[in-house]
Structure 1
């Protein structure tokens, strides 16, 4: 039985809006002196830190129940009123928060995404991307470009994922940030592909299981296998139980470097391959290939890099991978070549209303 896929705005409309936005930005950069346009881009990092400060101070949480005066807001979050006004002045200029005619501060749609318990909260993402650890890594981008290696060993004496294992507070922040970011593309993904055509869906490296839970909700005839490291899978088990899917979703524990559960009709790798250098990504693919039946499908969900020279989030994330993990984003052609090395054929690339794409892959 086919899954109940949600409706989304037409992709053609979304792409047209993106082209218009990029065109206006390009035209602006051409009209102003180059040094001015460059200076504005260089200052973008300051805005990241301002958003981080707002998240750390809990400004959005303090405004969640309604507008507040500057004095009241400063008292509530424990900040200097004048300094808070200066921070909010910058954020308001970019549509994050607003100040009403009566002088009270209030949330905007963007500011709502900083509320801790919002429907889709990016608060943890703001805290992670503005954290001292993240800044320290990106400050070593020059070395990463010179060596082609991630900077964790230089900065901390260990790899990124080793650091996550040794610093549980940072790891929790990172996991929550990635979960919240992943939620942004969830509806576009289930709208773009009929996962209900498969009897058993195996989510490899599933994290908290957000993707698999949504698939099973919309595909009532399908069952799932959630596979991740023991501590992650244990946490995901409660999410599966809360969703009422215990009877249809098995929890299996292990590392995708050692093997993955056999017998699935579809295997999902969502934001997994880009995390790892080619050698490690190849080990994951080889283990998935060994587990797959001849007629099974591998569904790789990633930010497939476009061939054009316009802005695209994948180009930023590609450098994030270079700096932190040693992984990379790839074009469709690069995926096709890479997958062929491990006995796979890329059948099609399915765009979604988000930057994510679904790569449908068969066993060669």
Structure 2
């Protein structure tokens, strides 16, 4: 992979910058050199936790003082460099064709429905003030949430009804699978235990979408003892959780890792559709920590991955058929999909697919799609180059 800085401009006016294996100063310089402040409505940045977030945030604000900036730490960056690490990706939305407003929702570990809904209502009012003719069909919402807050479902629930018909996509911030702490940036300030909510009104056609690459099997695992507030499962089928899971998937419980979890996902059925409930890590007492909400009595179904490249390619083809052509994709890809691609030695094929479809984004600790918080999924918004 060529890790030199790259920059690009798309037909819809979006400018991008990306750099891998960079220091904080190198990442800031690469972004600042690619961005035209006079033509930037809003700047999104996704960055490695190896970069100092406070220094990165302060330096970006100093180099681009008139640009509104938001973003989060990642578990990997996605750009025309491919799927890279230890750098940063920046997406600059132009003033022409885009009107964007944003807010921070603080203390999401204690978030109530009223607080989340009020934040959405205020943000919608802010958009209308800037764009009185704003139409719901021309607006989508982006969410970026602390990936270790264990509250993504509550955040999505709190903002869902207030968004109404505005579709939501997003991702949970990561920290390269260290699970020490994730960070969010918003207009010169670093935030933790928080969520960012962004409304994007655009004159360009768009589609929000999701894709996954698994199918259920006949094997069931029932959660028989758990700590829902910590997303920890102590027992599956009345057995020590790690031992029971390892037994049914044919792995050694002493060597369970995220790579094994990625290749042996578990799903739950909701409304006739299956959604992943992905494992994060094994604990010393044999319990399992999940990336998604979990509770006693939940029936987990063991799933098997299907061809990641083919399923993702089909999703892009469908979006292209709906839009006519796709100019740019803002994408949020679960870190476990990346690990599964590495396991199956198709990571370069996935990266080539993303480059071909101009995907920019990051590897997440969870994904948001409309009303749901998901795992082991790719969610995104595709933009066409014409007027909607």
- Normalising by structure 1, we get a TM-score of 0.29
Between Structure 1 and Structure 2, the one with more strand by share is 2
Structure with the greater alpha carbon radius of gyration:
1
Larger RCO (CA under 8 A, 6+ residues apart)? 2
- Normalising by structure 2, we get a TM-score of 0.28
